[in-house]
Amino acid sequence: MRRTQFASPLIFLVLMLFASRAGAQTTLIPFGKHSTWRYQDDGQPLAPNWIEPEFDDSNWKSGTAPLGYGEADISTTLSFGSVPQQKPITARFRHSFQIPDADQLKQLVFMIRSDDGCVVYLNGKEILRHNLPQGQITADTRALKRSDGLEERLYQYFKIDAVQLVSGANVVAIEVHQVDPRSSDLFLDLALRGYPDDDSLRPKMREQARQATVDYQSKHFVGPKIKIMDGYVDGGRGMKLDEKGQAFSRRELIIVDRQRDAALKQHLDFAHSEELKALEPLHRATRLAKYVDRNMSLDKNNRWSTPAVVLLTREYANEGVLLGDVTRLCGAGVCRHRALLFKLLADEAELDVALVRGNYGDASRVGGHAWNELYLPDGRRFIIDTMQRRIELLGTDGSQTSSRYLTVKNKPWYQNAEPVEAKQPKKIAN
């Protein structure tokens, strides 16, 4: 379902200026409550020029994203009239933003969650549509299919040429269409990011993150004394790195970048809090594991999210995804996201924790998996599996549970309770 549209770009105040390699990404519209929209929700006819920059929307209502109704995570609730079975098919939204120099941006990435379908215009021109038919779109045009389940939480990915962007004022207009007037929910949220060229759009491993990236790629193990630095990239077992450090994969490319990733920075603030550091190491790790589980699941009833993995992999294959964006983009993170986040938080919380990749299962069923190991100063070692909600002491003879943790070649990882990379825990303890 990945799509590339060639036309134009969008959105909001420049939160990140065009600068260094770390600043090659410019956030034009941030997710959620950090962006404010004008909207019309009464379903009344509008003049055709409502999508144009000069249209006067001062009488429209305004509110922060996400906007809509019928969902728990709505920030601004729209009205749908007094008859629930006869809701307006279409709601309209406008947002103005300033770009000091449009020539600085060549590519834009647009991530949008709309329930059920949408059309996006920039400065009066249509630049993309999703889940709507071809041809002329009117206020009565219905979405092609209903969005439901985990799929309705997915932020669709669009890569857009920036040729229509202008220096100064720009306006993006969006209309969201329901599949029928009895629909129980409507939702709009989006983010737009700009890039100076194609090269800056591609996820690129930085030299400071080389050891962790290469160790995980080749050994499937990042030791407890190796920190995960900004510029770390993980595209799974099939990821390739070229001579420039650019990453390629058939699934999403997870990126660690504290400067660009607002959600990750919030997680790290929790990890280095004095309250957390006051706990002894095992309790500190337990607290972090619960934190990861809670923050990687928007819905506690859908934390085991194989469908979310499929959606994320399909929509963002070979595209960069900031680790902190994962939960928002698809509703839940799975083992590879949770284990990486736990490692980052543990590094920040001054814990000795490894990042491990292998398989999990038995003779009848085996699947890819990722988890962590905690090394304590007294020599004890624990499996920390935030996907399985498991914290287990590793003994000298292993256990029935730990025997289910396998290498990528389906050999026991803990045959002697000691992985090859960690033969001397006392030397790597605090």
Cα angle 368-260-287, degrees, rounded to a multiple of 5: 55
The pLDDT, as a whole number, for residue 293 is 92
pLDDT (0 to 100) of residue 45:
84
Q: Is the pLDDT of residue 134 over 50?
A: yes
Higher-confidence position of 143 and 199: 143
Distance CA 103, CA 18 (A): 11
In the predicted model, is pLDDT for residue 6 greater than 60? Answer: no
Q: Is the pLDDT assigned to residue 20 strictly greater than 50?
A: no
- How much is the mean pLDDT over the chain? 86
Instruction: Write the CB contacts of 233 (distance below 8 Å, at least 6 apart in sequence).
Output: 203, 204, 205, 209, 213, 239, 241, 247, 253, 254, 255, 256, 320
- Does residue 301 or residue 28 have the better pLDDT? 28
How many CA atoms lie less than 13 Å away from 429 in the CB half-sphere? 13
pLDDT at 421 over 60: no
Residue 347: pLDDT band (50, 70, 90) is: very high
Domain 3-200: which topology? Jelly Rolls (2.60.120)
- Sequence-distant (6+) residues with CB within 8 A of 268 are 258, 344, 345, 348
Q: Considering only the C-alpha atoms of the chain, give the largest distance between any 2 of them, rounded to a whole number of Å.
A: 75
Query: How does pLDDT run across 200-252, given as a tens digit for each residue?
Result: 778 889 999 999 999 999 999 999 999 999 999 999 999 999 988 899 999 99
User: What's the pLDDT band for 358 if we cut at 50, 70, 90?
Assistant: very high
Lowest model confidence (mean pLDDT) among 9-13, 200-204, 291-295: 9-13
User: Cα(10)–Cα(166) distance, rounded to whole angstroms?
Assistant: 10
Average pLDDT over residues 330-339: 90
Q: Give yes or no for a contact between 266 and 327, defined as CB atoms under 8 angstroms apart.
A: no
- When pLDDT is averaged across residues 45-51 and rounded to a whole number, the result is 92
Residue 308 confidence (pLDDT) above 80: no
Q: What is the pLDDT of residues 87-123, one digit of tens each?
A: 999 999 999 988 999 999 998 889 999 989 999 999 9
Q: What is the mean predicted confidence (pLDDT) over 347-358?
A: 97
Query: Cα(215)–Cα(213) distance, rounded to whole angstroms?
Result: 6
State the sign of the Cα–Cα–Cα–Cα dihedral 259, 260, 262, 266.
Answer: negative
Q: Which of 11-20, 132-141, 406-415 has the lowest mean pLDDT?
A: 11-20
Give the per-residue pLDDT at 312. Answer: 82
Over residues 149-156, the mean pLDDT reads 79
Residues near 189 by beta carbon (within 8 Å), at least 6 away in sequence:
31, 32, 65, 66, 67, 112, 113, 155
Over residues 44-49, mean pLDDT = 89
**Chain segment 260-285, per-residue pLDDT in tens:** 899 999 999 999 999 998 999 999 99
pTM reported for the whole predicted model: 0.85
Where residue 305 falls among pLDDT bands split at 50, 70, 90?
Answer: low
Over residues 47-76, mean pLDDT: 94
285 phi and psi angles, rounded to 5 deg:
-65, -40
Residue 420: pLDDT over 90: no
DSSP codes joined into one string, 189-211? EEEEEEESSHHHHS-B--GGGHH
Residue 47 tokens, joined = 């003049």
Residues 392, 377 contacting (CB under 8 angstroms) = no
Predicted local distance difference test score (pLDDT) of residue 72: 85
Q: Where are the domains of the chain?
A: 3-200, 202-428
Which pLDDT score, from 0 to 100, does residue 378 have?
94
